[in-house]
Structure formats: C-alpha cells, structure tokens
C-alpha cells in the first residue's frame, strides 16, 4: 500500500465567498471555483476542496462543529487502490467510483477516499543559504530575499485530527493502511507517516472527547524559512488572525505558523520538516510547551531604530 499523503481535504462550509477570499490570500490557486465551491491548489496540485455544507455530493457531516467532510489520500498506482480495497473491504463497505478511486470510512467515522495521486512533480530549488565553512549556495550577486518575493504553498503537508480513541485510530492506520508512528507526544498523541512518504508526519492525532471529533489543523509546506516568514507576515498584514507562531517544532523540526480560518480549522504554513526512513526509532515526550517548540515568536509591525 503505497500511500503518498493527502491529495485533498474536502470541507462543507457555510460561506463559499469567505473561504474563497481566505484560501486565495493563503496563497492557493482557485481552480474551477464557482459559488458552489471548487478546488484551491498548491503548486503541486494538492489542496483544499470546498463545497456548500448542504451539497448532496459530500459525505455526511460528523455530528460536531468540524467542517471536514473527507480526506483524500493519493497513492502510487491502481494496484495500491486494489490492495486498500481488499484490506478494508474485509470489514466495511468500500465504494468504487467510475474513475477508479475508492471511498470508505476509518474506524472512527472519518470519511476517506483513495485515488492514484493527482499531484504534479515539483522541480523547484529549496531555499538557498550561505554559511561560513560551507560552500555558498547562492552565486555571487544572487539575492536571498526581496520584498515581493514569491511565497506560495508548495504541497499539502499534513492533517491533524481530534479523535476520541487514540489507540483504535492509530491501530487502524498502522495495521490496516501501513502507516508508521514516527514519534509520540504523550498526552496528545502519535505522529504518523504513510509508507510512501518520508516526511516526519502526514498525520497526527490528538486525543479529545467525542464532541470535539474533527480536524484540528492542516498544513502546507513552504520552500524554506524565508518564504514561510514572508507568507505569514503577509497574512497578518492583510488582517488575518494568527493563532500560534512563528516558531519551530521539536518533533519534525518544522517551522510552524498557524492561522484561524473560516473553514473551522487552523491553516499552518510549515517549512523544513525532517525526513525519516525505516531505521528511525520513535521518540516519546510528554506534551507541553517545552516539548512542542524550540522557540516561539510573535509578529510585530515593521519598525526602524533611526538615529
């Protein structure tokens, strides 16, 4: 089962216009978006699909405040779809669509879809830095930053869910779908990566009461810390509401900056996440401010100490 990661997250919302404004400001590109919603994509074509909450084409809503209606995972090829269909078909209904994708639900009722990934291969450089003692990454006269430098989300990175039964959900994703636990924040929950993804996490669970079940946040990868800081600063300057960050997490090492959204979940910019392989041994730490970040800043308006 070569699951690569989330292709799309699908939401049922009560204000398409507000979501369109927000997702565009976040840096996603509207594709075939109308007053009924549509796709907002990152540079590689992964992204967010919004529909009206009463759209009959959406899976049923959870009985909580969450607007998340489906997680769409991309897999390598049709044989992976067949393997997932055979495995999950043992104990639940798996619906095959005309395009070869399949829909079902996980053990806690979150709607899932698996498709041959629609992401496009990205060929872009990472942020280049110069440091004494190492070869310069930027050529002479090549600038590191400028005010209107592009800073667009490159790909949908990960999803974080509030779940009422951590053991059950982790067992489902690991034993039935081949995910691997990379680290555990005790008191919150485990970080997971699917088999065909080397990112530290594509999925993270936080244990909560049943009435909170839903999505806590989603994240997009940026090209490096500078693009990440630029994108977040631009959102703040435009009047959007920062929730947490900018800072840098410990587990995953990714830079983080979370924002509120009209989709009832946080949107995170992240950058420079760790990569792992099968040799990695999962760590454990108690969840809390000291284990959640190596440092944390808060945005401040530009100023200048003249004279």
Partner 1 sequence: MELCQLSDLQDGEARGFCVPGFLHKVIVVRRHGQAFAYLDACPHYTGGTPMAWKKDAYLNGEGTHLACHSHGALFDIETGRCVLGPCLGQSLQDVPVHVTKHGGIEIAALASSEEEA
Binding site residues, partner 1, CB under 8 A: 13-15, 18, 22, 64-67, 162, 208, 211-212, 214, 216, 238-241, 243, 259-262, 264-266
CB of 269 to partner 1, least distance (A): 15
- For partner 1, the closer CB: 1 or 62: 62
- For partner 1, the closer CB: 89 or 243: 243
Contact 187, 39 (CB under 8 A): no
- For partner 1, the closer CB: 65 or 78: 65
- For partner 1, the closer CB: 18 or 174: 18
Burial class (CB in 10 A: 0-12, 13-18, 19+), 264: middle
The helix or strand, by DSSP H or E, that contains position 7, with its residue range, turns out to be strand 3-13
Largest CA distance in the chain: 73
β-partners of residue 215 are: 161
- For partner 1, the closer CB: 76 or 299: 299
Question: Would you give the DSSP letter of residue 174?
Answer: I
CB of 63 to partner 1, least distance (A): 9
Structure tokens at 34: 């109308």
CB of 262 to partner 1, least distance (A): 5
Strands (E), 76-226: 95-96, 102-105, 111-116, 155-163, 180-186, 189-193, 203-207, 214-221
CB of 300 to partner 1, least distance (A): 15
CB of 79 to partner 1, least distance (A): 38
């Amino acid at each position: 089962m070569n699951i690569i990661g989330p292709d799309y997250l699908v939401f049922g919302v009560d204000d398409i216009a507000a979501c369109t404004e927000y997702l565009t400001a976040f840096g996603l590109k509207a594709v075939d978006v109308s007053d009924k919603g549509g796709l907002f994509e990152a540079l590689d074509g992964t992204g967010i699909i919004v529909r009206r909450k009463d759209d009959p084409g959406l899976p049923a809503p959870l009985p909580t405040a969450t607007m998340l209606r489906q997680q769409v995972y991309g897999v390598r090829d049709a044989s992976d779809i067949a393997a997932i269909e055979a495995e999950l078909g043992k104990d639940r209904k798996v619906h095959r669509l005309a395009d070869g994708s399949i829909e079902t639900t996980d053990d806690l009722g979150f709607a899932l879809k698996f498709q041959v990934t629609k992401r496009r291969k990205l060929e872009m450089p990472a942020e280049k830095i110069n440091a004494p003692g190492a070869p310069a990454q930027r050529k002479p006269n090549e600038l590191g930053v400028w005010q209107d430098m592009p800073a667009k989300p490159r790909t949908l990175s990960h999803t974080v869910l509030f779940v009422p039964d951590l053991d059950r959900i982790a067992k489902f994703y690991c034993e039935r779908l081949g995910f691997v636990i990379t680290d555990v924040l005790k008191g919150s929950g485990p970080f997971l990566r699917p088999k065909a993804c080397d990112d530290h996490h594509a999925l993270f669970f936080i244990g909560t009461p049943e009435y909170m079940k839903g999505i806590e946040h989603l994240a997009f990868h940026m090209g490096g810390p500078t693009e990440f800081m630029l994108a977040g600063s631009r959102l703040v300057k435009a009047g959007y509401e920062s929730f947490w960050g900018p800072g840098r997490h410990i587990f995953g090492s990714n830079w983080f900056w979370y924002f509120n959204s009209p989709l009832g979940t946080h949107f995170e910019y992240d950058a420079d996440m760790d990569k792992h392989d099968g040799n990695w041994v999962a760590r454990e730490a108690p969840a809390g401010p000291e284990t959640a970040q190596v440092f944390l800043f808060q945005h401040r308006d530009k100023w200048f100490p003249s004279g």
